[in-house]
Structure 1
Amino acid sequence: MDRRYEQGVAESGETAEQLDEQVHAYFYPFKRVSGQWSVYEVCKTALLSCTLLPLRLLLLLIFLIVLWLVAALVQGSPRHGEEAVSSSGSTPDSSLNQKIAGRLAGWQMRLVRVIPRLARLALALCFGVFWIRRRSPEPSSLSPQLKPVSPRASLARRSCAYTIVSNHLGYLDILVLLAVYSGSFVAKEDIRRVRFVGKIACAIQCLFLGSSESVTQSIVGRTQRAHACRVLKQCEGCSDCATNLIIFPEGTTCNGHAMIRFRRGAFAAGLAVLPVVVSFPYKHFNSSWESILFKTHMWRIMTQFVNYVDISELGVYEPAEQEKVDAHLYARNVEKLYSQHLALEIYDLNRKHKLMYHSYLLGQKTAGEVLELASQEKLADPSLTTFEAIP
């Protein structure tokens, strides 16, 4: 591997340090950015690793078992996925999701509502997230297409926006968004077979995607079906329209210091969305899960006294007529709102670029190889083509 690296350096005419800096700068949204180790942080981590960490791990296991039991009870509900599909006139996204979607009895719906409350409790006791600060931007900074929503507004006031879009910083923001919005998520079908997590994901009506399925078509089908159920009142109430669908349009996690281009799947239905911004203010440890081993991240996050989370609702975004027929333009305009609100640069990258960067960090590819592959991916991905946003 060293020989291949030296060969790449020799061919490029640049030093190893220059190439390394170039790679980290190119893939900056995926670079691990966190606080520096200090004497205080070392002593605190050592102390809490022996005291608080074992307790938090035990509590996490207990929460997973309780959540699994609640989800198991919910899974005993009768299904009417076919009714939901036929009533909306939409194409079903998959047979799997048809089986999951169904009418829940009253007591089962109450059990589903217990899951976000347990998630909120787990955030506090296991991860030190004692407060989730809710913020709203100044009205003068909002786009004309945004309808401001109070942080304390009920879900009914957001009913015109079935889809919630959010930036993605790691597994922690999934728990945060679940606790705040009681929503469901888009997940790979393999998640359904993960112990504990799979059954919980089914209970909260996650949209599962198979390897042969179109992500965009599946999301559009679910969104249109829920729109017909919730807004047009074309069904008596099914689990599809009982929860909001939460989507991470970037398609992967970033480090919180930069953004990547939004995918168009969340916007292809041409319906209103609710943009939500999640941020993790930090001094010692960045809670975003980016380019760091899961076990290391879990260890560090559980050895912090407190972890902070901020949520900002940018308001319900009603797409213009041009955006309704052009999902790329719609995605680019919402992406621009995030960039302005967070004051972050947007990089023309996608999830495949992240995998390339990780292959470099693991020593599987040289700097020259990953930069060449990244350039080829940019040319192959039409979503990375520049679109002019509506002013």
Structure 2
Amino acid sequence: MSPLVTSVLDDIDGGKKSGFPSHSVPHHGQIRMEEPSTTPAGVVNDGGGGGAAATGDLLSLDSEKFVPFVRNDLYGTKGEGALGLIDRLRLFVAACTLLPIRILGSIFFVVLYYVICRLLTSPSPTAGSSGKLAVVELQGIRRTIIKCSGQFCARAVLFICGFYYIRESRRPRVGTTVEDARVPHSGASTSAQFCSQESGKRNSSGTATVDGNGEGDAGDACDWPTAIVSNHVSWVDILYHMYAFYPSFVAKESVAGIPLVGLISKCMGCIFVKREGVRVKGTSTLVLDRLISVQKNKHAQPMLLFPEGTTTNGEYLLPFKTGAFLAQSPVLPVLLRYPHRRLSPTWETITATRHIFLLMCQLVNRLEVTIFPTYIPSEKERLDPRLYADNVRLMLLREGGLRASKSGLREKRVYQALLCGETPSIERNEKLD
């Protein structure tokens, strides 16, 4: 399953990467948080300047711009830090015992799910000559089996990889009990399950005031999230969201041709796109069309979008891109954390092969998930995707206790180049951002 996981395209929309907006933000218990005139505590000041000074800062490994991508665990930068004798022995034993079992177990469940998808989709008359079949074309019992078996296999792989217990909590709305806030994983559609049931109030700025932790008013109609908006920390994020929500993704076009994974991604309703520049705008259009279709049908599966556009070390939240907010519809904010003592499951600057090796050699891995109430945008937020994105980000910063950073994919690529002893091309990376 890792080829699909590691090739999901997160940066679906560009948009201006700003810091904090100058407007109010929804917050717990209908508290409004005004934007301070000075830089808030916890915000990583990346200089904001241009010219030679900014370029020189980017070319230093000590730059604060790179802090969100620095690994903080026993294995150090790139996962190649020096280990003591006991740690090396521990790693050797795990590589000889845990690693082969976990690799074979993961492959088994990927193949099992592929066989299920193949059996249920091969006779479908809607597959067409290209074979590009999406789960939205499957109805009734076949769709239910594909969804439930996908959730089961994803959880099985997580268990095999050491995530024996996943701590999940949902922030309850005002007027709900803890029992009402249980997290569903199957049965009715995810969108319908998180349907808003209570109305919020508007503040003077037009920003949706929060009911509980992130839910505002959207009128008398029942609104449901068209997208799951999550911070992005690791490739493990994909497995968790597949298990918990079974959403659709945005993936590279090449994923559709990967053996096993290609059919699985089609059954999940993935949107396949090219990453090169001229198609980026088309990607946003495809995503917007999908979000609008989910908005019209509460039983459709929502999209999973990572608005940061890249992964971090889990301690910071990068500026949000606006792709998930263009449909002017509600979103479901989700926050992932990976507590650790030895190896951090976060995947930022370590290679995929090294990360998978170390993760599977660690006996126990931990994941904590916080699911916030559906965030329903105000009228101003519906008209301004940047305002909408910034307000959701600020809510996650405040409620999740994360630190804000102005860095993004450009800074991460420069940092990775510096770690490899290369001289990065600032101009080239700006275009990739």
- Using structure 1 for the length normalisation, give the TM-score: 0.76
Aligned pairs for 1:185-196 (under 5 A) are: 185-196=249-260
Structure 1 counterpart of 2:230, from 147, 151, 166: 166
Alpha carbons 1:339, 1:345 under 8 Å: kept: yes
Relative distance call for 1:165 and 1:81 in structure 2 (3 A) is: farther
Alpha carbons 2:58, 2:414 under 8 Å: kept: no
Aligned pairs for 1:49-64 (under 5 A) are: 49-64=95-110
Relative distance call for 1:98 and 1:303 in structure 2 (3 A) is: closer
CA distance in structure 2 between the partners assigned to 1:64 and 1:81 by the alignment = 22
- CA displacement at 1:320 relative to structure 2: 0.5
Alpha carbons 1:41, 1:284 under 8 Å: kept: no
Query: Which consecutive residues of structure 2, in runs of 5 or more, have no partner in the other structure?
Result: 1-51, 76-82, 196-223
**Aligned residue number for residue 388 of structure 1:** none
Structure 2 counterpart of 1:175, from 236, 239, 253: 239
The number of residues matched between the two structures is 331
Aligned pairs for 1:168-317 (under 5 A) are: 168-211=232-275, 212=279, 214-230=282-298, 241-317=299-375
Alpha carbons 1:132, 1:310 under 8 Å: kept: yes
Query: Which consecutive residues of structure 1, in runs of 5 or more, have no partner in the other structure?
Result: 1-11, 83-94, 141-147, 231-240, 382-391
Q: Secondary structure at the match of 1:51?
A: helix
- CA displacement at 1:206 relative to structure 2: 1.5
CA distance in structure 2 between the partners assigned to 1:178 and 1:291 by the alignment = 24
Alpha carbons 1:273, 1:316 under 8 Å: kept: yes
- CA displacement at 1:204 relative to structure 2: 1.2
The superposition leaves residues 98-118 of structure 1 with CA deviations (integer Å, 9 ceiling, x where unpaired) of 877424352343133211111
CA distance in structure 1 between the partners assigned to 2:96 and 2:303 by the alignment = 39
Q: Secondary structure at the match of 1:208?
A: strand
**Aligned residue number for residue 210 of structure 2:** none
Relative distance call for 1:363 and 1:149 in structure 2 (3 A) is: farther
Amino acid in structure 1 at the alignment position of 2:65: Y
Relative distance call for 1:177 and 1:30 in structure 2 (3 A) is: same
The superposition leaves residues 44-101 of structure 1 with CA deviations (integer Å, 9 ceiling, x where unpaired) of 212111111111111122122112212223433646699xxxxxxxxxxxx9978774
CA distance in structure 2 between the partners assigned to 1:20 and 1:112 by the alignment = 47
CA distance in structure 2 between the partners assigned to 1:330 and 1:119 by the alignment = 31
CA distance in structure 2 between the partners assigned to 1:17 and 1:181 by the alignment = 41
Amino acid in structure 2 at the alignment position of 1:132: I
Structure 1 counterpart of 2:159, from 124, 137, 160: 124
| Percent of paired sites with the same residue | 26
**Aligned residue number for residue 62 of structure 2:** 22
Amino acid in structure 2 at the alignment position of 1:158: F
Q: Secondary structure at the match of 2:249?
A: strand
- CA displacement at 1:216 relative to structure 2: 2.2
CA distance in structure 2 between the partners assigned to 1:362 and 1:227 by the alignment = 45
- CA displacement at 1:186 relative to structure 2: 1.7
Alpha carbons 1:192, 1:202 under 8 Å: kept: yes
Amino acid in structure 2 at the alignment position of 1:226: V
Alpha carbons 1:30, 1:354 under 8 Å: kept: yes
- Using structure 2 for the length normalisation, give the TM-score: 0.69
**Aligned residue number for residue 133 of structure 1:** 167
**Aligned residue number for residue 362 of structure 1:** 420
Relative distance call for 1:195 and 1:96 in structure 2 (3 A) is: closer
Amino acid in structure 2 at the alignment position of 1:47: V
Alpha carbons 1:78, 1:102 under 8 Å: kept: no
Alpha carbons 2:320, 2:393 under 8 Å: kept: yes
**Aligned residue number for residue 87 of structure 1:** none
CA distance in structure 2 between the partners assigned to 1:218 and 1:98 by the alignment = 16
Alpha carbons 2:294, 2:301 under 8 Å: kept: no
Alpha carbons 1:97, 1:208 under 8 Å: kept: no
Relative distance call for 1:312 and 1:284 in structure 2 (3 A) is: same
Alpha carbons 2:110, 2:153 under 8 Å: kept: no
CA distance in structure 2 between the partners assigned to 1:354 and 1:79 by the alignment = 45
Q: Secondary structure at the match of 1:306?
A: coil
Q: Secondary structure at the match of 2:364?
A: coil
User: What RMSD, in angstroms, separates the aligned Cα atoms of the two structures?
Assistant: 3.1
Higher deviation after alignment, 255-264 or 42-51: 42-51
- CA displacement at 1:39 relative to structure 2: 5.3
Q: Secondary structure at the match of 1:219?
A: helix
- CA displacement at 1:356 relative to structure 2: 2.2
The structure with the largest helix share of the pair is 1
Amino acid in structure 1 at the alignment position of 2:67: Y
- CA displacement at 1:149 relative to structure 2: 7.4
CA distance in structure 2 between the partners assigned to 1:286 and 1:216 by the alignment = 32
Relative distance call for 1:195 and 1:281 in structure 2 (3 A) is: same
Structure 2 counterpart of 1:112, from 147, 154, 160: 147
CA distance in structure 2 between the partners assigned to 1:185 and 1:149 by the alignment = 29
Relative distance call for 1:351 and 1:17 in structure 2 (3 A) is: closer
